Structure 1
Amino acid sequence: MKMEDLTAISPIDGRYRSKVEPLANYFSEYALVRYRVQVEIEYFIALCELPLPQLSTFDHSLFGDLRHIYKDFSVDDARRVKEIEQTTNHDVKAVEYFIKERFDTIGGLDAYKEFIHFGLTSQDINNTSVPLSVKDALNEVYLPQVEELTACLQSLAEEWKDIPMLARTHGQPASPTRLGKEVMVYVYRLKTQLAQLRACPISGKFGGATGNFNAHHVAYPQYDWSAFSNKFLSERLGIEREEYTTQISNYDNLGALFDALRRVNTIILDLDRDFWMYISEDYFKQKIKAGEVGSSAMPHKVNPIDFENSEGNLGIANALFQFLAQKLPVSRLQRDLTDSTVLRNVGVPLGHTLIAIQSTLKGLRKLILNEEQVAADLDNTWAVVAEAIQTILRREGYPKPYEALKALTRTHAKMTEQAIHEFIDTLNVSGEVKAELKAITPHNYTGIR
């Protein structure tokens, strides 16, 4: 069966392909091969600029031609690499042979071909290519989308900043708040965790077969290969180099990055559930699109499916992020191969994350505030001003105010404005204090936010 949207096993490459299409430039097999070619080419150029004695005669004007090998890298080029891999049975070695073929097309470079992949092991290429792809995907795809979500929330917080709303703690009526402030909580949380995400170093391994530059040093002991590699990764690839490693990356920084992404996702998941509850409480209606069906059986239903879709995808993403963060830093002795197949799945949780963010945005943009219902809940819950009254009575030195309000609010079947004011009239306080207490309503007892 030919692979297409309807025959894909993964919903990322099937049902949701349009939502995650940009990630193909970073996490597809084609993208991985392209990033490997990029690292190999830039490494060869760096050796020429060092220069190694045997590369001192290389014509630097050809660097542009070399860089076009990865800048113009096509799907057909990737197919050629995979054809070579059928013979080598080694994916990175196939990249080396592909680049040697391209050197032949440029011409006159035969003497320099053996310095492609010089002194390296495959993980020097993989453990720079993958973090480089992660860095680019975060900067070019993920961060713009999560910043769009944050901006949307900030706009809603501003729009609803003066809307008083009943709060609920433990599912029970609590001191009133403002809708805009509650949305702003998520803006604050997202910005805080995004700052921590950006602070996570993105690093790679580059040190030869077991991390000691054995081959480099035995061939050219006069060079400081550690300093060379530090500069190569930072200046050419824009990532940090891990100074002490085995054959593979330590993956600790990548694990920290996945944990940071998981925390951001958890905040969005929390938001999804809250808005789901607000819709359930009828605080929001949802914009209806002509032709849409909410239920196959119940014609009246308009379900909060966008928030539910987001929650489900975030759950999958976080499970995978957690697995990646726990598994990758663990390897037997100087390496085993388990990280190789696991790394190929780095784009999967990011894909589910993008689906979730887009679903949350869609849900937020469909909301229509039902101010009447929000106000009605406040009007029907006068007991929430009890905290305010007992606090002012404490200020006035009134004996046992908490207990007095507790007795009032727990014995009345339903607290009303009238019941509260009748209670205030029985208090042994001045007329000014009684007036102050009567001025408090569920609509204005919302604090400073």
Structure 2
Amino acid sequence: MAGIHEKWESPLSGRYASPEMLNLFSPQVRSTTWRKLWLWLAESEKELGIDMSDEAIAQMKAHLTLTDEDFKVAAVEEKKRRHDVMAHVHAFGQNAPAAAGIIHLGATSAYVADNADLILMRDALDMLLPKLAVVIKKLSIFAHEYKDLPCLAYTHGQAAQPHTVGKRAALWIKDLLRDLRNLERARNDIEFRGVKGTTGTQASFLAIFHGDHAKVETLDELVAQKAGFPNVCDISSQTYSRKIDVDVLNAYSSFGATCQRIGGDIRHLASIKEIEEPFESSQIGSSAMAYKRNPMRSERMCSLGRALSNLSQDATQTYAAQWFERTLDDSSIRRLYIPTSALLSDSLLIILDNISSGLVVYPAVIARRLASELPFMATENIIFALVAKGVSRQDAHEKIRVHSQAASAVVKGEGKDNDLIDRIREDRFFAPVIAELEVLLDPRTFVGRAPEQVVKFTGADGPVEKALAPYKEAIAKSGGAGAELHV
């Protein structure tokens, strides 16, 4: 038998995802969920008059959690029957012999397989949403702390009019709020497939209840209630529409893109030494270059985000490829993309939480970079000040243009500091505004309403706090420590 180090293991389980999310998609939880669904079906059928013994129900309740031996029995049955659901029906029947004849009564395989998938998708989103809320809250605190710190903004990859470090973080938060909304919507739009029969007509249940349509409808509602779903699908084929998978994975995919976007910003900021992700005292940046502080968390986030973003195509194409009331070409791929999308999202939130808990800002570097570009950006303010003193705008513009070109040549051609302001101070043409230059060059006068925007956005009555209101308990429990990276 191969040892534990002699078989491939997904990095999601070995390196990235949380124990609780890995447990949710474990064989134990899935198989236990199947057994719960069979129990809920039997209980509901009994409540509506089907003859079932109390002992049968009691035995089912007593054996919801599978033992290692139960899994072995199911594996033997599946090898013989080539059908995973029926293998587990027989295994459950051995645990609960009094119920062996009524387990799965009237149901098709999709009753347990599809409803279990819906339960797991819902529960995964219930785990992820509070984690995302915690990340947003931490970034919100960061944004507020640095709302007034001017820094260069960039358009086209080139230095542009300054804003603040906090404003940039607020832009990240805005996109994460969209992800929170998308994931909430996807979660709340999940409808329970319920009890629908082989092609969704409920014919088998209508036969069981001797043509009583009201009891069939009540059965559907009872099982949905036991599973914790307020909404049961009003119409379906053999399966729930794979459009639900599309909606959930589109929300995940969009979140993956956001992670790439934020990770890319942090990586660029780290390359110019303005902001860094947390770097532990014993962490090694490079095996060869001991001085390096590589942004490995952000790089990992971009990599996993890319994987998550691409998964939505699997769901979209699977939905589009379904024929009529169902085909089985959806089965294998859904075993991959349903858990993988949740595990990737979970892994990304662990990284995001870790980063947002310990972003390191270097104000001196930010100020130096800003000072190197600010003289060019201040030229319009200087022109306005000259005009206010009665100087011709055209004359002022020409003087500024000539000096700016000369200073640019020094910066680009000689690698020296920007000396535009020195040139202006030495030119008598600018004498009327020399005394005002310090004010005209104050970085805080270039950021517009960035600080006020951040305050309004992250404040007590702002959109961030309103969106986070349902998650106050999770945020309070999180404290200030960041999530620990597994590796």
Distance of 2:250 and 2:66 partners within structure 1: 33
Give distance in 2, aligned partners of 1:249 and 1:396: 74
Q: Does 1:138 align with 2:121?
A: no
Task: Name the residue aligned to 1:302.
Answer: 293
What is the distance in 1 between the residues matched to 2:395 and 2:436? Answer: 17
Matches within 5 A, 1:375-394: 375-382=367-374, 383-386=376-379
CA apart distance, 1:387: 5.6
Structure-to-structure mapping, 1:213-292, within 5 angstroms: 213-219=202-208, 220-224=210-214, 227-228=217-218, 230-232=220-222, 234-239=224-229, 240-285=231-276, 288-292=279-283
Is the contact between residue 285 and residue 291 of structure 2 (CA under 8 Å) also seen in structure 1? yes
Alignment correspondent of 1:118: 105
CA distance in 1, matches of 2:397, 2:68: 75
| CA deviation map 1:33-60 (0-9, x unaligned) | 22111111111111111233x34xx43x
The C-alpha deviation readout for 1:4-31, integer Å capped at 9, x for no partner, is 36632422233x16x3332232222333
Tell me which amino acid in the other structure corresponds to 2:205: H
1:151 aligns with 2:137: yes
C-alpha distance 415-252 of structure 1, shift in aligned 2 (>3 A): farther
Q: Give the Cα–Cα distance (whole angstroms) in 1 for the partners of residues 305 and 380 of structure 2.
A: 38
Displacement of 1:246 in angstroms is 2.1
Which residue of 212, 216, 220 maps to 2:201?
212
Partner AA of 1:11 in structure 2 = P
Aligned mates of 1:396, 1:2 — CA distance in 2: 86
Task: Give the drift of 1:310.
Answer: 1.4
Structure 1 residues 345-360: aligned runs within 5 Å: 345=336, 346-360=338-352
Equivalent residue for 1:97, pick from 84, 90, 95? 90
Question: What are structure 2's unaligned runs of at least 5 residues?
Answer: 409-417, 451-487
Asked whether the equivalents of residues 133 and 180 of structure 2 are also in contact (C-alpha less than 8 Å), the reply is no
Per-residue Cα deviation, 1:381-418 (whole angstroms, up to 9, x for no partner): 12223465678999999867997677775564246445
Residues 285 and 215 of structure 1, relative CA distance in 2, 3 Å threshold = closer
Shift of 1:290: 4.4
1:275 positional shift: 0.5
Task: Tell me the distance in 2 between the aligned counterparts of 1:231 and 1:195.
Answer: 28
Superposed CA deviations along residues 104-144 of structure 1, whole A, max 9, x for unmatched, are 2xxxx46xx4332122110121110001011112213x223
Q: Pick closer, same or farther for the CA change 1:88–1:387 going to 2, 3 Å.
A: farther
Aligned residues of 1:165 and 1:443 also touching (Cα < 8 A): no
Report how many residues are paired: 432
Aligned to 2:2: 2
1:32 counterpart SS class? helix
User: Residues 276-331 of structure 1, C-alpha deviation per residue, up to 9 Å, x if partnerless?
Assistant: 01110111356554443322222221211111111111111222233223323531
1:327 match: 318
**1:31–1:441: structure 2 CA closer, same or farther, 3 Å change rule?**
same
Kept after mapping to 1: 8 A contact 2:118/2:192: yes
For 2:78, the equivalent position in structure 1 comes to: 85
For the 8 Å contact 1:381–1:415, the answer to whether it is kept is no
Q: Which has the higher contact order (CA 8 A, sep 6+)?
A: 2
Q: Distance in 1 between matches of 2:81 and 2:38?
A: 18
AA partner of residue 114 (structure 1): G
- SS at the partner of 2:104? coil
Pairing 1:43-58 to 2, within 5 Å after superposition: 43-52=41-50, 54-55=51-52, 58=53
Aligned counterpart in structure 1 of residue 335 of structure 2, from 344, 353, 360:
344
How many angstroms apart in 1 are the aligned matches of 2:233 and 2:310?
A: 27
Q: Quote the offset at 1:349 in angstroms.
A: 2.7
* Distance across 2 between alignment mates of 1:419 and 1:135: 65
Q: Post-superposition shift, 1:163?
A: 1.3
- The 1-side partners of 2:5 and 2:341 are apart by 19
DSSP-derived class of the 1:282 partner? coil
SS at match of 1:114: coil
In structure 2, the residue matched to 1:190 is 176
Q: 1:389 to 1:243 in 2, by over 3 A?
A: farther
Describe the shift of the 1:116–1:153 C-alpha distance in structure 2 as closer, same or farther (beyond 3 A): same
Quote the residue 1:41 is aligned against. Answer: 39
Give the TM-score, by structure 2 length.
Answer: 0.78
Quote the offset at 1:97 in angstroms.
Answer: 1.9
Tell me the secondary structure at the aligned position of residue 444 of structure 1. helix
More divergent stretch after superposition (91-100 vs 219-228): 219-228
The whole-number CA distance in structure 1 between the counterparts of 2:419 and 2:215 is 77
Residue type of the alignment partner of 2:307: I
Task: Pick which of 257-266 and 345-354 moved more.
Answer: 345-354
Q: Is the 1:211–1:246 Cα contact (8 Å) retained in structure 2?
A: yes
Pick closer, same or farther for the CA change 1:285–1:366 going to 2, 3 Å.
Answer: same
Percent identical across equivalent pairs? 19
The residue number in structure 2 matching 1:202 is: 190
Deviation at 1:372, TM superposition (A): 0.5
Shift of 1:342: 1.4
What is the rounded CA distance, in whole Å, between the counterparts of 1:214 and 1:169 in structure 2?
A: 62
Could you tell me how far 1:245 is from its partner in structure 2? 2.3
